[in-house]
Structure 1
Amino acid sequence: MDGPLSDEDRGMVEVMAAHPEYVDLWDRLDQLSVAEIERDGTNPIMHVMIHGTVENQIAIGDPPETAHTVEALVQHGLSRHEAVHRVGSVVVNKIWHVMQRSYPCANST
């Protein structure tokens, strides 16, 4: 990639760097099957995408509850990284329900 990274790409690089357990995968994803990518029941690509989604929600303040929840979890003793993962599990649950029920995603549901 030539030129400076976009804010979104820079954010994804930061999220990838925060997950050193997957560093051996990033340069060879195109050579691996889905089964070879999966680690301990986790798809690293989805993992960093959801982590990045939560980080993006915090960065733009939408929804504001994301940043408030991460901060509250940190105040209760979780690392920021683990707090982001906990909020990410809520995001995944929401996506799953939206896909299963075929209804639009809204903050109020």
Structure 2
Amino acid sequence: MFNPTRDQVRAFFIDTWQKHQNKSILSPIESSALKWILEHPEYHALLSSPDAKEQDFSINQGQTNPFLHLSMHLAIEEQISINSPPGIKSLFEQLSAKTDSHHAIHEIMECLGQVLWESQRSGTPLNNELYIDLLKQRINKH
């Protein structure tokens, strides 16, 4: 399993943005990342900043970590493409029908974040059943 460090993740998104700015050729994973970077113009200045790799983002101060956010976009896109956990593709399609695909992924991201937090807090593997249940609840709220 690929498990990049914080610095590797940050370098990946910063390098992808720089390659785009320089009109360099992107790898397939960089192209996927760029799609999400372009969807989030609020991150462009940060990704161009020489201090971006070192910046801290405090959830206590209401800050979103853009590197985590973009990473979750890539993870969810992969989950949907391979339908893992089973059923996520159909649930994404149902959410997308009620809103747009980007907002639907943000809805999924909220659920994934909750399940990740629970997993880390309890020291247990990711609970895919809870993840799918939370997604179903989101669909029923729309």
**CA distance change for structure 1 residues 35 and 71 in 2, over 3 Å: closer, same or farther?**
closer
Match in the other structure for 2:75: 53
Give, in angstroms, the shift of residue 93 of structure 1.
Answer: 0.7
Counterpart check, 1:16 vs 2:43: no
Q: Work out which structure has the larger RCO, using CA pairs closer than 8 Å and 6 or more positions apart in sequence.
A: 1
**CA distance change for structure 1 residues 34 and 59 in 2, over 3 Å: closer, same or farther?**
same
Give, in angstroms, the shift of residue 7 of structure 1.
Answer: 2.8
Normalised TM-score (structure 2):
0.62
Match in the other structure for 1:88: 109
Note the 1:19-98 alignment, pairs <5 A.
19-28=40-49, 29-30=52-53, 33-35=55-57, 41-76=63-98, 78-98=99-119
In structure 2, list runs of 5 or more residues that go unmatched: 1-14, 131-142
Alignment partner of 1:63: what SS?
coil
Letter in 1 for 2:113: V
Structure 1 stretches of 4+ with a deviation exceeding 3 A read 1-6
Normalised TM-score (structure 1):
0.78
Give the conservation status (yes or no) of the 8 Å contact 1:74–1:80: yes
Greater helix percent: which structure?
A: 2
CA RMSD of aligned residues (A): 2.6
Letter in 1 for 2:90: H
Question: How many angstroms apart in 1 are the aligned matches of 2:28 and 2:76?
Answer: 15
Aligned residues: 105
Give, in angstroms, the shift of residue 40 of structure 1.
Answer: 5.3
Q: Deviations over 1:45-71 (max 9, x none)?
A: 111111111111112222242221121
Match of 1:101 among 122, 125, 138: 122
Give, in angstroms, the shift of residue 101 of structure 1.
Answer: 0.4
Give, in angstroms, the shift of residue 73 of structure 1.
Answer: 1.1
